[in-house]
Amino acid sequence: LAGPPSPPGQDPRGWRAAVDCVRANELCAAEPSCSSRYRTLRQCLAGRDRNTMLANKECQAALEVLQESPLYDCRCKRGMKKELQCLQIYWSIHLGLTEGEEFYEASPYEPVTSRLSDIFRLASIFSGMDPATNSKSNHCLDAAKACNLNDNCKRLRSGYISTCSKEVSATEHCSRRKCHKALRQFFDRVPSEYTYRLLFCSCKDQACAERRRQTIVPSCSYEEKEKPNCLDLRNTCRTDHLCRSRLADFHTNCQASFQSLTSCPGDNYQACLGSYAGLIGFDMTPNYVNASTTSITISPWCSCKGSGNMEEECEKFLRDFTENPCLRNAIQAFGNGTDVNLSP
Amino acid sequence: AAAFGLYFPRKEYSENVYIDQPAGTPLLRIHTLRDSHGEVAHFHLCQNLIISRARSHENHWFQIREKTGLLYLSKSLDREDFNMLSVGNWMPLSKVMLYVFLSSHPFQEKECDSATRTTVVLSLMNATAPACSSLTARQLCFTEMDLSFHIKENKPPGTFHQLQLPSVHHLCQNLSISYDLLAAEGMPFRYNENTTGVSVTQRLDREERERYELIAKCTVREGFREMQVEVPFLVNVLDEDDSPPFLPNGTDTAEAVVEFNRKEGTVLATLTVYDADTTPIYPLESSRKKYTGSIITDDPWISETFRVEHIFDEIHFSPNGSQVRGTQHEYKLVLNKSISVTEHRSFQLDVLVNDTEFPGPERSVMLHFNVSILPVSIQFPNMTYQFTVNRNAERFAQIGKICIENCMKFRGVNISYKLLSPNVSCYPVSILQGREGKWGSLYVNDSSVLRRPECKEIQYTIQATDKQSRKHTKTLLTIVLEGTLLKKEEDCPDSCAVSKHRAECEECGGLGVLTGRCQWRQGSGKGITTNYSTCTPSIKTCPDGTCDVIESKDPAVCPQDCTSGNIIGGHGKGTGNLGIKSGHGICYCFPRQNCYCEKDDIKEQLCDEMCKTVI
């Protein structure tokens, strides 16, 4: 089992404290040798894979010099200022260093150190009751009420709901692009003690589960006429820096592992739920597939039909959503108001 | 086909590495399968260990036996090595990756770009190797990775996996660990007890069966204790293009008739072709290139006017009880441009479907479309139109529709209607083009003419013209004015929609009324409903959920269908955010401003029983 989360600023494994890539880029630009090597490397990486790049002496030299620069270990923060710019810098170095298409990519985001219990503490302050106590209530309805009592949450929630249910024309029943943007704003700018309660509330009856499924206005943000193939959808997502980063973050924090009690990396539920919520509003938007109260099934809007010889890979990708013990445990733990007890 | 066909039956292998494991410790064994008899596999590692995306390190520790594929430690990893390799890994578990390459001839120096490679993921365990007694049976028997393999169809048999874990076998020599493979009767796999190797015993055919589910069983004996572990063992059969296209029930001909629907993009006919092979929809473009459908013609008019659209979908065959994926290709004959109403011809159009990767003469199928393009005539039904108009009608009152024969069936034919003005001064009506250019709508354009006594019966000529071919036709239209003039009410608004109550609604006129008075629509009054109460110039056309051409001429005619402003109260908006689709109670509007939907206050009885008796 992993140890307790270390305080920020001091890293648990002995690597340099991470600088964000925007800052790292500024530091590099101020230093002539670094900035010229960075330019060289970017030219080297343009449209080439790692092996052809490393075959070139000049490129190799640039890479070696940059290994010592802050650009090399830089990361980004979710919802930071200039997040997109930060991710562009990150991928400008990392994209060319892939060995072809990897199944799992490492997250460009800083590791999450906060815990679910922190959220519960906050949540119980404003709700005035422990979420686990009252068994007769509809948690999803309570979550909506709690959101409406907070100006910021109410504003952004009604913002995305009206955007996502606004009909554009007889043929186009809503603007998916605007709806996704509004959803991203909601999940980026509203504190997670509100957003998680809406997304991951636990349900005992169908009406509640249907409300939970409807949280992200799936008719606009999730469902489409056709279900694309999951690998195709993944490819579409990977052409976009933000979507690619959020997907890599999901894979990093929700990848089921046998090494831990909870099946989650580092037993961190909070990190997995956060990266799940971070996918909402992109091509890879996940949602509950039905209003079942007994089993929670999550999936992006895609299927493995038509995978040809890649069916194994496609199903593996889809299972990380539909049959993921880490994600399932994390959602249930949030719904029950329990977190992993970490021995101090 | 590739230059050589050796391939790995797995995409990825994994194993744990511990601190200070001695040099010579075997880690895992990698197998390959052959494409043709006589191929010999040579394994080879590349120079670098991949630590994370951006970091790699020269490999000093791992080597692979070129002939057998056994990966082993050539140098012990001490704590310092571990710390160095863990840098940049921010996952709870440090991992390094190695690529194993494959060739059918002995490796030359630095050959690291062979396409055939597999990945080995080594988890760096931050501890010395555990004692055998501390390992669970599951850990002694199998790695964490699923036992899932892929074998190409139509390839020679061979051994593709070894159940025994070399690292455990090396570490725990005094434990007895034996394996077995549980397979249903007749499965083409064999387990060799001496080597713990699993081999495929015959060429597989994906079109017969594409998935085999077996169970690997492991028994650990320690003195008198015996533990058993069972895990699924899956084999997927990979497809290659070894089936030609075929036609369901031999249907290779379809009729394609072009008559009223002449619009670009119309699907005229569809023919289906089946193939027992799979066709991946990802990546789409390569599959499109692989399976082609092209019109065979040297007539430029045909190739300009028609195109073939190809869509394909996965279907399932059941050859012998097991489900096998196949493909259904649909070839649709589509109009590439709108066809003129005068066009008249018929011919056979041939489409050649080609499964380009199938090795054999049956790779193509010819599809035939019997195309008949019929002309359509632009003519009015053989009668003259006659409409009566009430003298009290207001501007924008809708009188009726003008439509040539079959006009509602037309698609892609644009008809314009025109009134040829009569040689009289009475000229109250105009015509507007309905949506989609199918019909014309007659409406009152100048209501003052209706009030003039000398105008009684007016004769017009209507002309309908097809925009594309300029063909036109004419007919007569008679407008009869009737009714006696009503006195205009004072201080009535010019829009019916402003009225909130039935009484004021029915005693006023407004834009668009037919008989001088607005009409009241009484709704059902159940919550927010499409059937809300409202005041309208004509119940037939407003509100009907569409903002038609005449209503859109002036926002005062029917804001219930056309408003784009705010609606206050319980409501649902109409299509394109125009109009009030549903409302609560009574909906009324101030044109160019807001609309309101509200429940009318319940009128109390002026005097109840009690009060009457008192009086």
Q: In this predicted model, which residue has the larger pLDDT, B48 or B332?
A: B332
- Residue A335: per-residue pLDDT: 85
pLDDT band per the 50, 70, 90 thresholds, residue A3: very low
A111 closest CB neighbour out of B52, B55, B90: B90
Nearest-Cα distance to chain B for A151, in Å, is: 22
User: DSSP characters for A227-240?
Assistant: --BHHHHHHHHHTS
Residue B205 burial by CB count (10 A; 0-12/13-18/19+): exposed, middle or buried?
middle
Least confident range from A80-89, B67-76, B90-99, B565-574: namely: B90-99
Asked if A257's CB is within 8 angstroms of B283's CB, the reply is no
The neighbour count for residue A177, using CB atoms within 10 Å, is 9
Using a CB–CB cutoff of 8 Å, tell me whether B316 touches chain A: no
Determine the pLDDT at residue B51: 75
What dihedral do alpha carbons B554, B555, B561, B566 form, nearest 10°? 160
Please report residues of A whose CB lies closer than 8 A to that of B284: 232
Within a 10 A sphere around the Cβ of B154, how many other Cβ atoms? 14
The segment with the largest mean pLDDT, out of B43-47, B124-128, B186-190, is B186-190
Q: What is the DSSP letter of A21?
A: H
Q: Is A307 in the B-facing interface, judged by CB distances under 8 Å?
A: yes
Cβ–Cβ contact B546 with A under 8 A: no
pLDDT at B507: 87
Q: Would you call B577 and A166 a contact, using CB atoms and an 8 Å cutoff?
A: yes
What is the average pLDDT across A175-198? Answer: 93
Question: Of A157-161, A202-206, A314-318, which gets the smallest average pLDDT?
Answer: A202-206
Query: Coil, helix or strand for A315?
Result: helix
Is the separation of the CB atoms in B428 and B458 below 8 Å? yes
What digits encode the pLDDT tens for the residues B395-429?
999 988 888 888 888 888 888 898 887 667 888 88
pLDDT in tens, B281-331: 877 788 888 899 999 999 999 999 999 999 999 999 888 788 899 999 999
Q: What is the pLDDT of residues A10-54, one digit of tens each?
A: 344 334 456 889 999 998 899 888 888 888 888 887 766 666 666
How many inter-chain contacts (A to B, CB under 8 Å) are there?
93
B90, A13: Cβ pair inside 8 Å? yes
Residue A33 contacts B, CB cutoff 8 Å: no
**Does residue B205 register a pLDDT over 70?**
yes
Contact between A314 and A307 (Cβ < 8 Å): yes
Q: Is A67–B313 a contact, with Cβ atoms under 8 angstroms apart?
A: no
- Do residues B29 and B166 touch, judged by C-beta distance below 8 A? yes
Q: Is the pTM of this model over 0.75?
A: yes
Nearest-CA distance from B278 to chain A in Å? 5
pLDDT of A243: 95
Interface contact B114, partner A, CB < 8 A: no
pLDDT at A1: 37
Alpha-carbon distance of B142 to B177, in angstroms, equals 11
Q: What are phi and psi of A67, to 5 degrees?
A: -55, -25
Q: Is B573 on the interface with A (CB under 8 A)?
A: yes
Long-range contacts at A72-75 (CB < 8 A, ≥ 24 apart): A72/B54, A72/B55, A73/A15, A73/A16, A73/A18, A73/A19, A73/B88, A74/A18, A74/A19, A74/A20, A74/A21, A74/A23, A74/A24, A74/A25, A75/A18, A75/A19, A75/A20, A75/A21, A75/A108, A75/A109, A75/A110
User: Which two three-digit tokens encode residue A166?
Assistant: 């606004």
Task: List the single residue in A98, A307, A310 with the smallest CB-CB distance to B53.
Answer: A98
Read off φ and ψ for residue A229, nearest 5 degrees: -75, 140
Closest CA to B8 of B103, B97, B95: B103
CB contact under 8 A, B282 and A169: no
CA-CA distance, A337 to A142, in Å (whole number)?
Answer: 14
Nearest CA in chain A to B283: A232
| Closest-CA residue of chain A to B52 | A106
Mean pLDDT, rounded, for A299-306 = 95
pLDDT grade, residue B3 (50/70/90)? very low
pLDDT 10s digits, B597-607:
988 765 555 56
Interval A85-100 mean pLDDT:
77
Residues of A with CB below 8 A from B50's CB?
99
Using the Cβ of B110 and the Cβ atoms of chain A, whether some distance falls under 8 Å is answered with no
Instruction: State how far residue A184 is from chain B, nearest Cα, in angstroms.
Output: 24
Task: Give how far Cα B493 sits from Cα of A229, B470, B496, B579, B589, Å.
Answer: 59, 44, 7, 20, 11
CA dist A238 and B51 (Å) reads 22
Q: What angle do CA B1, B4, B5 make, to 5 degrees?
A: 75
A312 lies within 8 A of chain B by CB? yes
- What DSSP character marks residue B106? -
Q: Do residues B429 and B378 lie in contact, with contact meaning Cβ atoms separated by under 8 Å?
A: no
Q: Which residue of A has its CA nearest to B110?
A: A55
Identity (one letter) of the amino acid at B183?
Answer: A
Closest among A300, A277, A286, A248 to A186, alpha carbons compared: A277
pLDDT at B595 over 60: yes
Residue B35 has what pLDDT? Answer: 87
pLDDT, one tens digit per residue, over B539-585 is 988 888 888 888 888 888 999 998 888 899 889 888 777 889 999 98
Cβ neighbours of B278 in A, within 8 Å = 306, 308-309
Interface contact flag, B92 A2, Cβ < 8 Å: yes
Closest chain A residue by Cα to residue B235: A312
B89:A67 CB<8 A: no
Q: Would the pLDDT of B234 be above 60?
A: yes
Please, which pLDDT band fits residue B524 given cuts at 50, 70 and 90? Answer: confident
Q: Is B364 on the interface with A (CB under 8 A)?
A: no
User: Which is more confidently placed, A279 or A3?
Assistant: A279
* Cβ partners under 8 Å of residue B223, min gap 6: none
Compute the distance between CA of residue A216 and CA of residue A4 in angstroms, rounded to an integer. Answer: 34
Contact A96, A49 (CB under 8 A): yes
pLDDT digits (tens, 9 = 90+) for B361-387: 999 999 999 999 999 988 888 788 899
What pLDDT, on a 0 to 100 scale, did the predictor assign at position A134? 52
* Mean pLDDT, all residues of chain B: 87
Please list the residues that pair with B307 across neighbouring strands.
B334
Question: Residue A308: its chain B contacts at CB < 8 A?
Answer: 239, 278-282
- Alpha carbon distance A71, A93 (integer Å): 8
Mutual angle of helices A192-199 and A151-164, in 10-degree steps: 40
Average pLDDT over chain A, rounded to whole?
83
> Any chain A CB within 8 A of the CB of B282?
yes
* Residues of chain A neighbouring B86 (CB-CB closer than 8 A): 13
pLDDT of A272 higher than 80: yes
Collect all residues of chain B within an 8 Å Cβ-Cβ radius of residue A2.
92
Q: Under the phi-then-psi rule, with left for phi > 0, alpha for psi from -120 to 50, and beta for the rest, what region is B539?
A: alpha
**Could you say which of B91, B112, B575 has the minimum Cβ distance to residue A169?**
B575
Neighbours of A189 (CB within 10 A): 13
At A342, the pLDDT band (50, 70, 90 cuts) reads low
Tell me the average pLDDT across B170-192. 91
| Cα A327 to Cα A251: distance, rounded to the nearest angstrom | 11
B282/A306 touch (CB, cutoff 8 Å), yes or no: yes
Mean pLDDT (whole number) for A161-165: 92
pLDDT band at residue A344 using 50, 70 and 90 as cut-offs: very low
Strand arrangement of the beta sheet that strand B70-73 belongs to: B26-29, B70-73, B62-64
Q: Which of A1, A13, A53 to mutate to test the interface with B (most CBs of B within 10 A)?
A: A13
What is the percent of chain A where pLDDT is above 70?
84
What single-letter DSSP state applies at residue B497? G
CA–CA dist A306, A315 (Å, integer): 12
Mean pLDDT of B527-540: 90
DSSP A294: S
CA torsion, ordered A145, A149, A152, A153, to nearest 10 deg: -10
> Which of B282, B329, B435, B436 should we substitute to test contact with A (largest number of A Cβ atoms within 10 Å)?
B282
Q: A175-184, A306-315, B55-64: which range is least confident on average?
A: B55-64
In sequence order, what are the residues at sequence separation of 6 or more whose Cβ sits closer than 8 angstroms to the Cβ of residue B453? none
Contact B239 A308 (CB under 8 A): yes
Residue B614 CA to residue B601 CA, distance in Å, equals 27
| Cβ count within 10 A of residue B608 | 9
